[in-house]
Amino acid sequence: MSELFQLSAVEAAQLLQAKKISSVELTGNVINRIEDVENRVQAFLIWDKELALSQAKVVDEHRMRGEDLSPLAGIPIALKDNICTQGIRTTAGSKILYNFIPPYDATVVNKLKQAGLVLIGKTNCDEFAMGSSTENSGYHTTSNPWDLERVPGGSSGGSAAAVAAGESLLSLGSDTGGSIRQPASLCGVVGMKPTYGRVSRYGLIAYASSLDQIGPFGRTVRDCAALLNLISGHDGMDSTSTSVPVPDYTKACESDVKGLKIGVPREFFAQGVSGDVDMLVRAAIEKLCELGAEAEECSLPFSEYALAAYYIIAPAEASSNLARFDGVRYGLRTKELAGHISLTEKTRNEGFGDEVKQRIMIGTYALSAGYYDAYYKRAQQIRTLIRRDFDRAFEKFDILLTPTSPTTAFKIGEKSDPLAMKLADVCTLPVNMAGLPALSLPCGFVDGLPVGMQVVGKPFDEETVFRVSHTYEQASLWHTSRPLL
């Protein structure tokens, strides 16, 4: 079995549990894959061969002793580089944190360690998760494994590309406005944004605290369900973490949608969504109807304001969160020392990229005296109306289906216009504004490039999201396709 890196995480876990392969063998195969393709894909900011193999060896020793291990013990995983890892450099894709080594692990990292997963490395991302292409990384741009001249999406582009390229079987990303689902769509993998509060944000370097959520990438829906099992649950270190019971999501992966009512929001198929994407998503909805579901068009009228409201709320929260990077306590410090104010100004000017500076300035302006009510307060009111739209829709429907991204992956450097770039998240932003769970999974290809369908659920109803997604996945073969590298 020379191409173990091609397996889904659940397939590999079954082989590990049956002792047909070892974690060292699996991890070594994935590392060989990284050595073969990473110079072209550039999914990682840092990866550590020796650390990964040593972790895998420990798991194998526990398994040989007959110890009770988690279902994913021994599976290689990559982490987006805005998730803190004790003793391992964590930059959030920014030069201002080029030398930052966290003194603690994020809660999700602690859970992964306890479950025996093998950390391969930290993946590239748009700086502080601000972007839709990874072109805003302070270090390099990641390429899409399906076409190396195109972007993998963002901001979790490295995490999506690593799974698509076989450089990791699983990965974690963060999703503030679509940063898991959009790259999952463009890279042809499965990506899940859980309900806000379902997964602890402790140790996630904050962008917009009321929107950020950590979630899984995998080759299959079941992969994401198995990983979400491990990272979900209440955490006393995160005041926004909820105590809602966590079910076994893998049990929700049943091929049965009979009687389920699907809502198809017309606003998500409007101008900007390419004809090919529209056609493939509608074909996927028809497939689910053939399998027993019922679909009906519906309306979420305030979703058209989500983009404008998001780009006030998120930058406002970023303005506050990023004020901590001042050159005093950690991270970059300018060498031009001329008083405290000058130190902070020069450090932030040298350390932050253009996109981050732009969003900080927008956010600071929106929060300033005389403009707060006109911008920030009004945007929050729109956010409430968006949530009410979803609430009304879910009174009638069990699930909503939409495109994930309005187009397939665009070429690196193609979208120099900031507005054109921001429109890449037009289908995903409303879900974050409402705090809902949503998953993207492959539903076809256009000119060799993947297309994703977004499955949106009720708050804390990830089970139905997984059920619908798994049913469609098993009725199609899109998830079995692999890029040729």
Q: Would you please indicate which residues are annotated as catalytic (active-site) residues?
A: 80, 155, 179
Phi-psi region of 241 (alpha: psi -120 to 50; beta: other; left: phi over 0): beta
Phi and psi of 171, rounded to 5°? -155, 165
Question: Rounded CA gap, 250 and 194, in Å?
Answer: 15
- Helix axis angle, 23-41 relative to 9-17, nearest 10°? 160
Please list the helix, strand and coil fractions of the chain in percent, rounded to the nearest 5, in that order: 45, 15, 40
Name residue, tokens 């829709």. 393
Question: 171: which DSSP letter?
Answer: E
Both tokens assigned to 456: 């949106």
Question: Rounded CA gap, 397 and 390, in Å?
Answer: 10
Contacts of 265 (CB under 8 A, 6+ apart): 297, 298, 299, 300, 303, 393, 400, 402
| Nearest by Cα to 181 from 233, 132, 243, 136 | 132
Question: Rounded CA gap, 34 and 22, in Å?
Answer: 19
> Residues 351, 356, 358, 362: is their CA dihedral positive or negative?
negative
Question: Rounded CA gap, 397 and 255, in Å?
Answer: 19
8 A C-beta contact, residue 166 and residue 135: no
Question: Rounded CA gap, 71 and 59, in Å?
Answer: 12
> Residues 382, 384, 386, 392: is their CA dihedral positive or negative?
negative
Question: Rounded CA gap, 227 and 242, in Å?
Answer: 18
Question: Rounded CA gap, 34 and 461, in Å?
Answer: 36
Instruction: Report the greatest alpha carbon distance in the chain.
Output: 70
What is the CB-side half-sphere exposure of residue 33 using CA atoms within 13 A?
Answer: 28
8 A C-beta contact, residue 164 and residue 145: yes
**Helix (H), strand (E) at residue 444:** strand 438-446
What is the CB-side half-sphere exposure of residue 37 using CA atoms within 13 A?
Answer: 26
8 A C-beta contact, residue 376 and residue 325: no
Question: Rounded CA gap, 225 and 192, in Å?
Answer: 9
Question: Rounded CA gap, 132 and 417, in Å?
Answer: 12
